Amino acid sequence: MRTSRHPLTSRTHALLGALLASLATLAALLGTAPAAHADTSICDAFGTTTIQGRYVVQNNRWGISQTQCITATDSGFRITQADGSVPTNGAPKSYPSLYNGCHYTNCSPGTRLPAQLSAISSAPTGISYSYVSDAAYDAAYDIWLDPTPRTDGSTGPRS
């Protein structure tokens, strides 16, 4: 004896299978997508935040008392307000930065720095920046070396 299925039942099973496959694909995509990260505004003179779970973005406004704000993004920061000015032949008015390591006891999460230079086999790095016209800037890309493994502040002049 031959059993026949109702065409509607076969079609329903096919649609249900396609729906389940689509939901499984969607769940897999959502489960592996990185968490959304909202930009963070920092206006405190020495305010910081962490990005990518391992880098510290810091405002570091120390040369003036006027407001400076930066916005930390998932890949760095941008200066959104920079009131005041200083002479171009002296110290900077601020030094906003992104770092992995330690800056005056504020260490980035999970950092393996400081480390002996001979223990570092590679340090892939890069920089990208843009700026507005009609202003004076000094963009720097620094790698700080220290004769002792400090995490608590400056060692003074470096050579």
CA distance 110 to 154: 21
Q: In 10 A of CB 61, how many CB atoms?
A: 26
Q: How many residues belong to the chain?
A: 159
Instruction: Report pLDDT digits (tens) over 102-120.
Output: 988 999 999 999 888 889 9
Look at residues 36, 81, 40 and name the one whose alpha carbon lies nearest to residue 61: 81
CA distances from 46 to 59, 72, 115, 138, 139 (A): 5, 13, 25, 19, 19
Instruction: Report pLDDT digits (tens) over 38-58.
Output: 799 999 999 999 999 999 999
pTM of the model as a whole: 0.69
